Amino acid sequence: MDVCIRGAGIVGRTLALLLARERLRVGLVAPSTQAPAASRPDVRAYALNLASKNLLESLRCWPSAAAATPVLHMKVSEDLGGGVNFDAAQLGTEALTWIVDVPVLESQLADAVRFQPQIELLETPAPAALTVVCEGKASSTRAEFGVDFEVTPYAQHAIAARIACEKPHEQVARQWFAQGEVLAFLPLGGAAGNSVAIVWSVSPEHAAKLLQLSPEDFCLELQATSQHCLGQLMLASERAVWPLQKAQARQWTGRTAAGAWALAGDAAHNVHPLAGQGLNMGLADVSELARLIRERDYWRSVGDDKLLRRYERSRKAGMLSMATATDGLQWMFSQHGGAWATLRNWGMNRVDRSGRLKQWMARQAMDF
Ligand SMILES: Cc1cc2nc3c(=O)[nH]c(=O)nc-3n(C[C@H](O)[C@H](O)[C@H](O)COP(=O)(O)OP(=O)(O)OC[C@H]3O[C@@H](n4cnc5c(N)ncnc54)[C@H](O)[C@@H]3O)c2cc1C
């Protein structure tokens, strides 16, 4: 076996398909006890950027139009009425981002893996020249390899759910920042859809209260916070909750007596979901690792130290700039008090009016 991938989430499966395409023999550790069917379906939808779309399309795993809604406008608002609007046509782009139904993407990747003869599904890890750890934020292999994972908890939990709306979303993604909390509405169901996936990042106490509300009362709270922009709302799934943290592994690659290893995806880094970049970063990790493996000198092994050092250098740099920007936004919006709110309000309106700065900000977010 050339490469053993531990963890069959979206990042692990994508890497398995990329390496199988290079005719490498891949083992993918996917214990049957952790199969998605064994747990409840994910209610989330992810905002995926153009690089992620291109990558998944190249593997024939990009969902159909109904499950990957292009976002044409983005509206960001805050407490005092300040706001920034982004428009795909004005930026000369097909879409600002795509909102992808998570269970649909997961099942397309699982099917592609099943039909790829170069990939062997494993119940337990097997020896290989390179082990790639894609086990997510609570990775046990990362701990087994003795890697420090520096975790800074945000004092926030994210509630996610699917919501049916009275009015169509018109391909607009919306975000409201209020009193340090963030509510996002991500359009679902294709261009003519009238449902959204929500991510509501709130204090743990507020999360506990919101989860105890009846579906009707929860939707009344949502309607008020979203300023009734999509009319009457109805809960269309269960409510799921995630504690939020910023984290980074100190070391991303290394070697044990059994061979070389690398971390990718949430096993290497976690960011706040407000910028919708966690999976985009994980897919950029595996895209880069697969590229370095493909372009290596013919005499270098897939676990070559120089190759892995390059991977670590390049992806740590990409991760750091994204994590710093996301963390800065989270901090700025979590500051209470009149002066902060006034400054934010002024800043957002100013950005909205400044064509160049706005274009630059949108490009940063779109190209990561
Ligand atoms: C509320 C919320 C909203 C988000 N929205 C976005 C968004 O809009 N856009 C975006 O880009 N990102 C978003 N993210 C981030 C995104 O969810 C993660 O970055 C992404 O899921 C990471 O994928 P992964 O494959 O690395 O890890 P995971 O999805 O955690 O997958 C890890 C896999 O490994 C398996 N596993 C764990 N331990 C072992 C083991 N010991 N052996 C074998 N298998 C194991 C698990 O069962 C799982 O299948 C969001 C996150 C949250 C919490």
Higher pLDDT, 47 or 355: 47
Nearest residue (CA) to ligand 1, atom 35? 7
Whether 133 is in the pocket of ligand 1, judged by its Cβ within 6 Å, is: no
Average pLDDT over residues 54-62: 98
Least-confidence region, from 16-20, 45-49, 74-78: 74-78
Q: How many residues does the chain have?
A: 368
The rounded distance, in Å, linking the Cα atoms of 151 and 141 is 17
Has residue 1 got a pLDDT over 80? yes
Has residue 27 got a pLDDT over 90? yes
- pLDDT cut 90: percent of the chain above it: 76
pLDDT at position 332 is: 63
CA of 29 to the centre of ligand 1 (A): 15
pLDDT at position 288 is: 97
Whether 31 is in the pocket of ligand 1, judged by its Cβ within 6 Å, is: yes
CA of 270 to the centre of ligand 1 (A): 9
Give the burial class of 117: count Cβ atoms within 10 A of its Cβ; 0-12 exposed, 13-18 middle, 19 or more buried: exposed
CA of 136 to the centre of ligand 1 (A): 5
The rounded distance, in Å, linking the Cα atoms of 190 and 63 is 11
Mutation choice for ligand 1 from 13, 29, 34, CB with most ligand atoms inside 8 A: 34
| Tokens at 350, concatenated | 């100013």
Residue 290 contacts by C-beta under 8 Å, 6 or more apart in sequence? 15, 18, 19, 22
Average pLDDT over residues 2-31: 98
pLDDT at position 326 is: 66
CA of 83 to the centre of ligand 1 (A): 31
- DSSP-assigned letters across all residues of 270-321: E--GGG--HHHHHHHHHHHHHHHHHTS-TTS-TT-HHHHHHHHHHHHHHHHH
Asked if residue 176 lies in contact with residue 183, where contact means CB atoms within 8 angstroms, the answer is yes
Asked if residue 278 lies in contact with residue 11, where contact means CB atoms within 8 angstroms, the answer is no
CA of 97 to the centre of ligand 1 (A): 19
Nearest residue (CA) to ligand 1, atom 9? 276
Mutation choice for ligand 1 from 44, 135, 142, CB with most ligand atoms inside 8 A: 135
Backbone torsions φ then ψ of 235, nearest 5 degrees = -70, 130
Q: pLDDT tens digit string along 158-169?
A: 999 999 999 999
In order of 14, 60, 100, 195, 330, the CA distances from 66 in angstroms are 21, 16, 9, 12, 31
Q: pLDDT tens digit string along 240-250?
A: 999 999 999 99
Whether 36 is in the pocket of ligand 1, judged by its Cβ within 6 Å, is: no
Q: pLDDT tens digit string along 190-213?
A: 999 999 999 999 999 999 999 999
The rounded distance, in Å, linking the Cα atoms of 24 and 5 is 12
CA of 37 to the centre of ligand 1 (A): 16
The rounded distance, in Å, linking the Cα atoms of 244 and 37 is 24
The rounded distance, in Å, linking the Cα atoms of 74 and 352 is 12
Average pLDDT over residues 49-63: 97
Q: pLDDT tens digit string along 96-150?
A: 999 999 999 999 999 999 999 999 999 999 999 999 999 999 999 999 999 999 9
In this prediction, residue 320 has a pLDDT band, given cuts at 50, 70 and 90, of: confident
Asked if residue 278 lies in contact with residue 246, where contact means CB atoms within 8 angstroms, the answer is no
pLDDT at position 368 is: 42
Mutation choice for ligand 1 from 18, 55, 211, 279, CB with most ligand atoms inside 8 A: 279
The rounded distance, in Å, linking the Cα atoms of 263 and 285 is 9
Whether 277 is in the pocket of ligand 1, judged by its Cβ within 6 Å, is: yes
| Tokens at 59, concatenated | 């593997």
Mean pLDDT of the chain: 91
Whether 154 is in the pocket of ligand 1, judged by its Cβ within 6 Å, is: no
The rounded distance, in Å, linking the Cα atoms of 261 and 132 is 6
Mutation choice for ligand 1 from 266, 270, 285, 286, CB with most ligand atoms inside 8 A: 266
Higher pLDDT, 177 or 145: 145
CA of 139 to the centre of ligand 1 (A): 11
In this prediction, residue 349 has a pLDDT band, given cuts at 50, 70 and 90, of: low
Nearest residue (CA) to ligand 1, atom 1? 158
CA dihedral 9, 15, 21, 25 (to 10 degrees): -90
Average pLDDT over residues 314-327: 77
Backbone torsions φ then ψ of 166, nearest 5 degrees = -65, -40
* H-type alpha helices, the chain: 10-21, 50-58, 102-114, 140-144, 204-212, 215-225, 278-294, 305-334, 338-353, 355-367
pLDDT at position 333 is: 65
pLDDT at position 318 is: 78
Has residue 365 got a pLDDT over 80? no
CA of 110 to the centre of ligand 1 (A): 15
Asked if residue 154 lies in contact with residue 323, where contact means CB atoms within 8 angstroms, the answer is no
Which atom of ligand 1 is the closest one to the Cα of 240? 1
Average pLDDT over residues 276-303: 96
Whether 283 is in the pocket of ligand 1, judged by its Cβ within 6 Å, is: no
| Tokens at 259, concatenated | 């061979």
